[in-house]
Amino acid sequence: MNLFDLTGTVSVVIGGNGVLGGAMSEALAGAGSKVAVVGRDMEKAEAVRLRIAEAGGEAATFAADATREEDLREVLRRVLEWGGRVDTVVHCAGMNSPTPFFELKMEEWDRIMDVNLKSAVVTAQIFGKHLIDQGEGGSIVNISSVSSDPPLSKVFTYSASKAGINSITKFLAREFAPHNVRVNAIIPGFFPAEQNRKILSPERVQSIMGHTPMGRFGNPEELQGAIVYLASAKASSFVTGTTLRVDGGFGAMTI
């Protein structure tokens, strides 16, 4: 179990106020890391912090719009005041929309790309630079999607943004490797959350179940082992540039 001991580390979870981000924040805290829960909705972020505290962990909340460089620089400054260092950065800010392609407005395209992809780039620039300058290595984990490759129907912009996540993950893994900063992505399958419930019609649920060998949705807690593994400098010390699927077999299904 020492492989997965994060005691003495500090983790920053961008989008930690969400369903999946909250579950991953709790997992990191449960493994011993101090967790900075970052998001726009402070009420939800505070609920995550309280769950961590009730379980005996340590966390703090930080308000930020992840698309704004100045917000994330301020979060880094405040996290360093609070925790003294940063070891793991998880980017799971995201949004979705079922708008049909020919009805898509560029304002919506820009907003989804900003939240899903631009914010991941800004996060990597600010926190990745700090990890490199800190000189002790570290881990960046991006949250991708099964829609990244091949793209799913009805979520054109979301799929494009998540394909971009896969690409920048590999690019940054190569660039940061000489500094012992690992960059990986988790590809969740279908975990019903606020951002995707709007596209989960009964017909679409039936289609998803038919394409998921395990025949069910994932539970947020089922991402916890993956995030602790990728955060651990012991357990995943030679793992970088990979996309780890937690999808019930969705990516293995053909006919």
What distance in Å separates the CA atoms of residue 101 and residue 199, rounded to the nearest whole number? 14
B/e letters for 82-104, b = 16+ CB within 10 Å, e = fewer, are ebeebbbbbbbbbbbbebeeeee
Catalytic residue among 156, 158, 176, 250: 158
Instruction: Give catalytic status of residue 158 as yes or no.
Output: yes
Interior CA angle at 74 toward 73 and 80, to 5°?
90
Upper half-sphere CA count for residue 245 (Cβ side, 13 Å):
13
What distance in Å separates the CA atoms of residue 28 and residue 22, rounded to the nearest whole number? 10
Enumerate the β-bridge partners of residue 61. Answer: 37
Which amino acids are annotated catalytic?
Answer: 158
